[in-house]
Amino acid sequence: MEGVEHDGSAVGSASAKVASLVVFGRFAVLFISGITFVIVARFLGPGVYGIYILAMSYTGLFTGVADIGVCTALNKFIAQYRASGSKEDLNKVVSNGYFSVILSALAFSLIAFSLSSFVAVHVLGSASYTYIVQVVSFCILGGMLFGVSYNMMVGFGKGSYVALMLILQSVVQSIISIILVMLGLGAIAPILGLLVGYLTSIVTVFVLLTTKLKIRLRKPSFAYIKKFFGFSSPIAVYNGLRGVVTNIAPIILGIFATTVIVGNFGVAVKTSSIISSFTDALGLVVLPMFAYTVSAKSIGKNIGKFYNYAVYMTFMLVAPALFYLAVLSKEFSFTVFSSKYLLAPTYISLISIGTLLWILATYTTMLLISTSKVKKILKYSLIMTCIELTLIFTVVPMFGAIGLISILFLVTPSLITFLMSKAARDLLDVHLDLRKLARVVIAGLISAAFLLPLLIVPGEYIAVLVVGVIEQMAVYPVILALTGAAGREELKVLRDVTGNIPVMSRIISIFADYTGHFVRA
């Protein structure tokens, strides 16, 4: 067992070295976008912010479909041809990647644009919002080109360029959005900021491709485009289905509820997505670890142990933050977004708990993707989409935002975890170690109980939040150790896997050292 665990940490450490700059870029974006989100939400208020959420959800319906799997294929084929030293193939892959995405995304942008008047009236609630829908339609094109740029740089193994484009996009978007919001442009302000951020990053990557990486554009070839589709079409369908469900949900809510309720729902979901960005960044470390263990004959049989470590480590790092938000949701929401978002605290509490379930669902899906079980994923995603859409159209009209949150953050991740775990057991003989996860959850709940006395402190929201953070930092590691949720071996693996992530590695090392003082011999 111990030898296997050391293998796992070594593989994870190697993956972290490759992904460290990308992860650093993700964390930087997390910080920048978090600040921008708070400022924009406070200035717009729940009603106008609800309009923004509905407009972005509308384009999200098309973005998932417009992907057509090109981004995933580019990542794979660029890495493959770079390893073989085939420069001309790299030129053709990049050229056809750009051509495919521009063709697809532009077509869907124009379709979205053509429906702008209808959507403004029936979704946003007024024809006066038509211009917002028209402008946001081009986020489909911008978002897809940004995604292609990101995957190209990942495929070339240029972590520094990936970090640069992520941070550049986030900084430009934030500056433009905040300025325009303060000037009173309303819901269209963050949309324009997003577009300008996309454009800046896209142009930067193109310049890097043609100058630093010496890529030359070639005439499009349908043979290459067919190759893209053949490789990643199942993944594209899966992503498209997830995108449709995720984005149609706020639209359905908007039909049966006011934009104020949609705005409250939006800030709660966005708060959750910031936490999820942290887990996504960790996923950049563990997904290569999964892929490597499958291909390496010496340790491939132990992928189940690495999978359980990945889920366990993420739970251990994220659980205290989620339970903190669940308990102090009112203090957090009223401090960050203002008391205008009256419904947000309840939504944030429910979504925080649901985010833990999504970690299970996400990593189990990643496991199957890394082992090329995409057809099984596609089968289950079709089943899930049918169930989700049925529930959304029947539950949301009766129970509103609470019903929608229950579907998206409780029912859906639970079903995905059940189905994907069954597939992992049947196809890979991988079993989820629920006992170890249960210990982490129990430790999180016990430490969260120490926050309850703070709820009786009247009005001092900022003081309560600060004391709560200090309390969690002091108490959670102790309980984690005393309940047996973390041992010396687990803490060592945690240090090794995250040891090359800038900034975060030091924070996690301090956490592990402090926890280690209370681990029983």
- Alpha-carbon distances of 461 from 159, 215, 266, 444, 464, rounded to whole Å: 40, 54, 22, 22, 5
> Which of 365, 350, 334 has its CA nearest to residue 399?
350
Long-range contacts, stretch 462-471, CB < 8 angstroms, 24+ apart: 462/335, 464/328, 464/331, 465/328, 465/331, 465/332, 465/335, 468/324, 468/327, 468/328, 468/331, 469/324
Backbone angles phi, psi at 233, to 5 degrees: -60, -40
pLDDT in tens, 90-143: 898 899 889 988 988 999 999 999 999 999 998 888 999 999 999 999 999 999
> Which of 94, 96, 214, 103 has its CA nearest to residue 151?
94
In whole angstroms, what is the distance from residue 94 CA to residue 153 CA? 11
What pLDDT tens digit does each residue of the chain (521 aa) get? 344 344 444 444 444 444 566 667 777 887 888 899 899 999 999 999 999 999 999 998 888 777 666 777 777 788 778 877 788 888 988 998 899 889 889 999 999 999 999 999 988 889 999 999 999 999 999 999 998 898 888 788 787 888 899 999 999 999 999 999 999 999 999 999 999 999 999 999 999 999 999 999 888 887 777 776 666 666 677 777 777 888 899 999 988 888 899 999 999 988 887 777 666 655 555 554 554 444 444 444 567 777 888 888 888 888 998 999 999 999 999 998 888 999 999 999 999 889 888 888 888 887 776 666 667 777 888 888 889 999 999 999 999 999 999 999 999 999 988 988 888 888 878 888 888 899 999 999 999 999 999 998 887 899 999 999 999 999 999 999 999 888 888 888 778 766 666 667 788 888 889 998 888 75
- Asked whether the beta carbons of 145 and 102 are under 8 A apart, the reply is yes
Max Cα–Cα distance, the chain, nearest Å: 68
Question: How far is Cα of residue 103 from the mean position of the Cα atoms in its chain?
Answer: 26
Classify residue 342 as left (phi > 0), alpha (psi -120 to 50) or beta. alpha
Classify residue 351 as left (phi > 0), alpha (psi -120 to 50) or beta. alpha
In whole angstroms, what is the distance from residue 383 CA to residue 359 CA? 20
Q: Where are the alpha helices (DSSP H) in 183-258?
A: 188-211, 222-256
For the chain, the helix, strand and coil percentages under 3-state DSSP, each to the nearest 5: 85, 0, 15
Calculate the average pLDDT of the chain.
84
pTM of the full structure = 0.79
In whole angstroms, what is the distance from residue 277 CA to residue 296 CA? 29
In whole angstroms, what is the distance from residue 13 CA to residue 501 CA? 10
Within a 10 A sphere around the Cβ of 20, how many other Cβ atoms? 21
Q: What is the DSSP string of 64-77?
A: HHHTTTHHHHHHHH
In whole angstroms, what is the distance from residue 346 CA to residue 350 CA? 7
